[in-house]
Amino acid sequence: MMGSDFFYRDKIPVVILGATGTVGQRFIELLAVHPWFQIVAVAASERSVGRRYGEVVNWLMASAIPPEVASLEVLRCEPGIPGSIAFSGLDSSVAGEVETKFAEAGYIVISNSRNHRMDADVPLLIPEVNPEHLELLKVQKFGKGKIVTNPNCSVIGLTIGLKPLFDRFGIELVHAVTLQAISGAGYPGVASMDILDNVVPLIEGEEDKVETEPLKILGTYQQDGEIKPAQIKISAQCNRVPVNDGHMACVSVKLKTKPKPEEMIEAWRSFTSEAQTLGLPLAPKNPIHYFDEKNYPQPKIHRNLDKGMCVSIGRLQDCPILDYKFSLLSHNTIRGAAGGAILCAELMVRKGYIFW
């Protein structure tokens, strides 16, 4: 294998599946400077296999391609390649089957694709929200390895914003209208003629994910190895908007007990989790940042806040239909994809699910 000398035994060796894509590139950018993980292999489709990563990738990150990764040969997505953790940014047309094969072969797979998210024995994990769902790994049956999934990119931000409200006040109803960035569609994504000067009121399959995934994530882990879904009704409408990175959501909620506005804000501002107390490298200092400024949050200004890992909320107002409404923002390829997946792996290392 080209670049096989690039192997540090003091870090956990990882392979990136779908390394040439939008999420794959973000993995490389974040992992290149990670204190615990070392990229030892990159894999993608037949289009890229056998060529050096730096020659085949259309690199779109603001930082330079790490030279030690640029020189790696792109490998076929088949078990047997180096690495013990497989971070997957694979297209969903192939992710399900490939990820199953890697888990069966003994890899710890952390996936960004939809394919395994709703499998009964697969954690749909947000480290700050449902770390106890990692218990599912004890009953998971993929052979020697494991699969953990990252939720949908809009769902991650939304569910982090809902979590403190769910815990303190209870939630009955949620209505969410998302405004999603074009990088969420991968590269080259939506044609410029379709998205410039426009809003596209369709992202195939997205509304169903926003309406169902939070129920599993906020669900209760039961001792028999099942998740009892949260009893919340969610209605979502998802739109593609001409923003590069950063998904927004305009959210209305009906709570079981209606708090004062200042109690809502306090719940968000004081929200913290094990990811923070364990000092995980990619954990944001505060998972949620609430803005008092009336015209915040905005994607262009706030998407990179706290390493791109925190959720920004603002504009809390009374809702004449439900109880409250607010605006929420999170970075779709960092918090909503590669960064979120790396944080899952960090939590698994610290909690003893990944040994090295």
Give min distance, CB of 102 to ligand NAP, in A: 12
What gap in Å lies between CA 346 and CA 300, rounded to an integer? 28
Give min distance, CB of 159 to ligand NAP, in A: 14
7 or 187: CB nearest ligand NAP:
187
- Any residues with CB less than 8 A from the CB of 215 and at least 6 apart, and which? 229, 230, 232, 234
Phi, psi (degrees; rounded to nearest 5) at 282: -100, 5
171 or 249: CB nearest ligand NAP:
249
Report how far apart, in Å, the C-alpha atoms of 108 and of each of 133, 217, 340 are: 16, 20, 15
164 or 297: CB nearest ligand NAP:
297
Give min distance, CB of 44 to ligand NAP, in A: 3
- Residue 113 corresponds to which tokens in the numbers above? 């694709």
327 or 332: CB nearest ligand NAP:
332
Give min distance, CB of 47 to ligand NAP, in A: 4
- Residue 220 corresponds to which tokens in the numbers above? 């209760």
Assess contact for 230 and 215: CB atoms under 8 A.
Answer: yes
Assess contact for 113 and 95: CB atoms under 8 A.
Answer: yes
12 or 90: CB nearest ligand NAP:
90
112 or 286: CB nearest ligand NAP:
112
- Point out which residues bind ligand NAP (CB under 6 A): 18-24, 44-45, 47-48, 77, 89-92, 94-95, 112-113, 153, 183-184, 186-187, 332-333, 336-337
Catalytic residues: 153, 247
The β-bridge partners of 326 are 251
What gap in Å lies between CA 301 and CA 168, rounded to an integer? 30
Assess contact for 39 and 110: CB atoms under 8 A.
Answer: no
| Closest to 329 (Cα-Cα) out of 162, 157, 177, 176 | 157
Give min distance, CB of 97 to ligand NAP, in A: 10
- Any residues with CB less than 8 A from the CB of 142 and at least 6 apart, and which? 100, 103, 104
Phi, psi (degrees; rounded to nearest 5) at 240: -95, 130
Give min distance, CB of 337 to ligand NAP, in A: 4
The β-bridge partners of 161 are none
Give the three-state DSSP class for 138: helix
153 or 227: CB nearest ligand NAP:
153
DSSP 8-state symbol, 73 = B
- Which residue of the chain is nearest ligand NAP when measured via CB? 21
Give min distance, CB of 115 to ligand NAP, in A: 8
- Any residues with CB less than 8 A from the CB of 42 and at least 6 apart, and which? 15, 16, 19, 20, 24, 28, 53, 69, 72, 74, 75
Phi, psi (degrees; rounded to nearest 5) at 38: -130, 125
Tell me which amino acid residue 24 is.
G
